[in-house]
Structure 1
Amino acid sequence: MKSILMGAAALALMAGAVHAESPTASKRIALSNNYAGNSWRQAMLKTYEETAQAAVADGVVAAADAFTTSENQTTEQAAQIQNMILQGYDAILLNAASPTALNGAVKEACDAGVKVISFDSIVTEPCAWRIAVDFVEMGRQEVEYVASRLPEGGNLLEIRGLAGVSTDDAISKGIHEAIDTKYPQFKIVGSVHGDWAQDVAQKAVAGILPSLPDVVGVVTQGGDGYGAAEAFAAAGRPTPLIVMGNRQDELKWWAEQRDANGYETMSLSIAPGVASLAFWVGQQILAGEDVPKDLTVPFLTITQADLDEALKTTPEGSVSNVSYTLEDAQAVIAGAK
């Protein structure tokens, strides 16, 4: 009994030591998220909560709360940020509804001494940090892949994400730049917003298909590939080459088509786990580390050879993911320097 009690006491002292050793043990972090209406955002929130809860339990930070606006409105998110300032949070992690419309609220936070780390959909306010993949390059790589498979070119349908969000603008920019500068054999004959959601994309594609000529490929942003495939099938049109976005329903459909008729494509997206990276970057900033304002992480790509493994490790209804650790964040920070 005595040894058990001594062991328990030692564990308690160790836990206290971990808490005392953390330079951010008294700090409070909040996540401001503008939208949760698709599987990527749900996976992002889940990854963040797992990371945050473990960090609070380990005494790394005092709190790491998550808040999502009821609608994708910049005015609502700006008010949310202002409330976080009043509530005394030390850092705000921001997945922004607009790259510019929130700059005023972000500047208010910075002026109040709050560290703002934007990620995924970032802001342009200079006082904030930004964590994102190179979304313009992601758009370019989609077109490069389509060109490698269909060198003679043809008509493409573009499915965009949430209107007004920086991620949507950047991916679309990369797609159009690649076509305009390197692959003029392709032509965008239609463009719709799918909001990075399968059901929205399916409805949008179904609405535009009757007005389109033959389409050889669909360039996307994630969460829209399966919806596009369903819309083409319902219209009785041949299935084009559709670039996927790492969602489980897309990967499942892709594997089924591969097994049935040899269908081949590729899939790419930013990992939802970027929220866990944002948490650790925020923690490092609060700890006094010198962190560059702009950090870039690679996007997660799935090829034909990776498909079975990716599908096996992606939960139903979710999206392929990786979670980042403190060490990963430190490596990204060091790489940016």
Structure 2
Amino acid sequence: MKHFVVMTGLTVLLTSTALAETSAKRIALSNNYAGNSWRQAMLQSWETITKPAVEAGIVAAADAFTTAENQATEQAAQIQNMILEGYDAIVVNAASPTALNGAVKEACDAGITVVSFDGIVTEPCAWRIAVDFKQMGKDQLTYLAEKLPEGGKLLEIRGLAGVFVDDEISAGIHEGVAENPQFEIVGSVHGDWAQDVAQKAVAGILPSLPEDIVGVVTQGGDGYGAAQAFAAAGREMPLIIMGNRQDELAWWKEQKDANGYETMSVSIAPGVSTLAFWVAQQILDGQDVPKELVVPFLRIDQDGLEASLETTPAGGVANVEYSLEDAQAVIAAAK
């Protein structure tokens, strides 16, 4: 897959054309949830990239706000406050693809640019940046079919209920099962993309599941918790798809060294928030930006495990952050 290079030098940023057009512009991040390592990394990436941009005068502000609960009504109120505060652009990681549309439309009607990413919105006036989450789900079954051609019983761990990302990944997993009918999903729980939640949920359902679970399909942030639950129950360890979290990669490395355990890991990079920032800046700069932008997901295979683990901080997530030039390349590719 393509890897994007992080450009941190302010000289690189300042040599790009027409940046003075956005020097007085203020951008806000509306985030619906921060209760797992991916979201924490996403917010840290935003700070890492936007702080130098503000200091360099590329934009006047790039403030981040997170709601206390994953509630669309609370996030809608947050967006309405941002409208009153007079932000020029709002970057949104949404609690719902549809429930925020009214607030998003209010922002657009007020002349505010709205860019949604990860958890996108369907309101036509907004821009959308997403990976093909459905394909991410299907790819898990493609991998399982290669490693376990005889198939078998699967446990599905889903993310946050009602969120676009959860629905899309799950739909892709089920499409993958339909295309590989040697597999059967015999249980499903919500892990909320958090290893502690996933561990409790898997521990709760395991007694009702058959002994011969061959694989666990996941959404990210849940693989290590699933492994802990299987180990605590004394169950044979299935092939668990991982989600690029450091604890997952470290556990995988231990198992690989001990017994040759094989799997793969896939997730959207938390640094997609930085791509959304630069896309908003480019729109404010008057650039022609397509409403739909797609970025690749970040996949780690067996032979790339050690290198990825080495560069992933403890408690963090394998990540890619985006420069202005990366954003311009993504925009150009979409045209």
> CA 1:192–1:334 in 2, change beyond 3 Å: closer, same or farther?
same
How far apart in 2 are the matches of 1:232 and 1:289?
A: 51
User: What CA RMSD, in Å, does the superposition of the two structures yield over aligned residues?
Assistant: 1.5
Q: Answer yes or no: is 1:280 the counterpart of 2:278.
A: yes
1:229-308, aligned counterparts within 5 Å?
Answer: 229-308=227-306
TM-score, reference length from structure 1: 0.94
Where in structure 1 are there 5+ consecutive unaligned residues?
1-14
Counterpart of 2:113 in structure 1 is 115
Say whether the 8 Å CA contact 2:14–2:56 is kept in structure 1: no
**Following TM superposition, by how much is the alpha carbon of 1:327 offset from its aligned partner in structure 2, in angstroms?**
0.3
> CA 1:142–1:18 in 2, change beyond 3 Å: closer, same or farther?
closer
How far apart in 1 are the matches of 2:177 and 2:137?
A: 10
**Following TM superposition, by how much is the alpha carbon of 1:31 offset from its aligned partner in structure 2, in angstroms?**
0.0
Kindly name which structure, 1 or 2, has the bigger radius of gyration based on alpha carbons. Answer: 1
Where in structure 2 are there 5+ consecutive unaligned residues?
1-12
> CA 1:20–1:241 in 2, change beyond 3 Å: closer, same or farther?
closer
Say whether the 8 Å CA contact 2:115–2:276 is kept in structure 1: yes
Say whether the 8 Å CA contact 1:18–1:58 is kept in structure 2: no
Counterpart residue identity of residue 194, structure 1? G
Deviations 1:116-137 (A, max 9, x none): 0000010111110000100000
> CA 1:241–1:18 in 2, change beyond 3 Å: closer, same or farther?
closer
**Following TM superposition, by how much is the alpha carbon of 1:52 offset from its aligned partner in structure 2, in angstroms?**
1.0
TM-score, reference length from structure 2: 0.94
1:205-244, aligned counterparts within 5 Å?
Answer: 205-213=202-210, 214-244=212-242
Question: Residue 22 of structure 1 aligns to a residue in which SS?
Answer: helix
**Following TM superposition, by how much is the alpha carbon of 1:150 offset from its aligned partner in structure 2, in angstroms?**
0.4
**Following TM superposition, by how much is the alpha carbon of 1:179 offset from its aligned partner in structure 2, in angstroms?**
1.0
Counterpart of 1:96 in structure 2 is 94
Counterpart residue identity of residue 130, structure 1? R
Q: RCO (CA 8 Å, sep 6+): is it higher in 1 or 2? A: 2
Counterpart residue identity of residue 264, structure 1? E
Deviations 1:300-334 (A, max 9, x none): 00011100000000000000001100000000000
Counterpart residue identity of residue 186, structure 1? F
How far apart in 2 are the matches of 1:20 and 1:274?
A: 23
How far apart in 1 are the matches of 2:239 and 2:324?
A: 39
**Following TM superposition, by how much is the alpha carbon of 1:335 offset from its aligned partner in structure 2, in angstroms?**
0.3
**Following TM superposition, by how much is the alpha carbon of 1:269 offset from its aligned partner in structure 2, in angstroms?**
0.3
Counterpart residue identity of residue 207, structure 2? P
Question: Residue 162 of structure 2 aligns to a residue in which SS?
Answer: coil
Aligned residues: 322
How far apart in 1 are the matches of 2:88 and 2:140?
A: 39
Task: Report the identity percentage.
Answer: 75
Question: Residue 23 of structure 1 aligns to a residue in which SS?
Answer: helix
* Aligned equivalent of 2:182, options 182, 185, 200: 185
